[in-house]
């Protein structure tokens, strides 16, 4: 899984308007009505991550969940990150 | 729920040897065999937090889970944080 170049990253981010890039990581914060709703989302994320064999860093602050993705093996962002990000966004649709 | 003073915080931490204080927050990182085990723990933490009406910030990095506690209403650490920390530690015993 090769590391993407900046043109490829830019193209990937255009399809993920809610995601922000910070160096070699892309992240998004989702807000829910309460902690229970946030935890339901986190469990859906966990299932999706296990299926993809790729795991975001997950941060939970009561009703807010932040997901961050990078591909450690590639030393940066890869297609796996963008594919998973799109899958995770579909969980809240 | 009043904010604890530094003597009270020190006494509380003596009963929580794995927890570290950073200003008005106490935190601990737990390590598990894999992401699934980490998620099982996070769900037990969530249940415990809902029962206590007090929620740690939770960070999941594959097999590592970091919990951080403070009492926003008290503007610092309160008994609620130390009580919940002890309850959370019991989840892995």
Encode chain B (93 residues) as per-residue pLDDT tens digits.
Answer: 899 999 999 999 999 999 999 999 999 999 999 999 999 999 999 999 999 999 999 999 999 999 999 999 999 999 999 999 999 999 997
Q: What is the pTM of this model?
A: 0.96
With bands split at pLDDT 50, 70 and 90, how would you rate the model's confidence at A15?
very high
* Rounded distance between C-alpha atoms, residue B90 and residue B47, angstroms: 13
Domain boundaries, chain B: 6-90
Q: Within 10 A of B23 (CB to CB), how many other CB atoms are there?
A: 8
Contact A46 B35 (CB under 8 A): yes
Q: Domain spanning A6-90: which superfamily?
A: Transcriptional coactivator/pterin dehydratase (3.30.1360.20)
Which residue of B49, B55, B60 is in closest CB contact with A57?
B60
Cα separation, A31 vs B62, whole angstroms: 22
Is A4 strand, coil or helix? coil
Q: Between chains, do B50 and A36 touch, taking CB under 8 Å as contact?
A: yes
> Which A residues, 2 through 61, put their C-beta within 8 Å of a C-beta on chain B?
35-36, 39, 42-43, 46, 49-50, 55, 57-61
A26 within 8 A of A68, measured Cβ to Cβ: yes
Residues A44-77 pLDDT 10s: 999 999 999 999 999 999 999 999 999 999 999 9
């Amino acid at each position: 899984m090769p590391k993407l170049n900046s043109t490829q990253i830019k193209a990937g981010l255009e399809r993920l308007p809610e995601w922000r890039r910070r160096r070699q990581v892309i992240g998004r914060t989702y807000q829910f009505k309460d902690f229970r709703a946030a935890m339901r989302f986190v469990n859906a994320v966990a299932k999706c991550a296990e299926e993809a064999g790729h795991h975001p860093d997950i941060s939970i602050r009561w009703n807010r969940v932040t997901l961050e993705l990078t591909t450690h093996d590639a030393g940066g962002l890869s297609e796996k990150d963008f594919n998973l990000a799109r899958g995770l966004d579909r969980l809240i649709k």
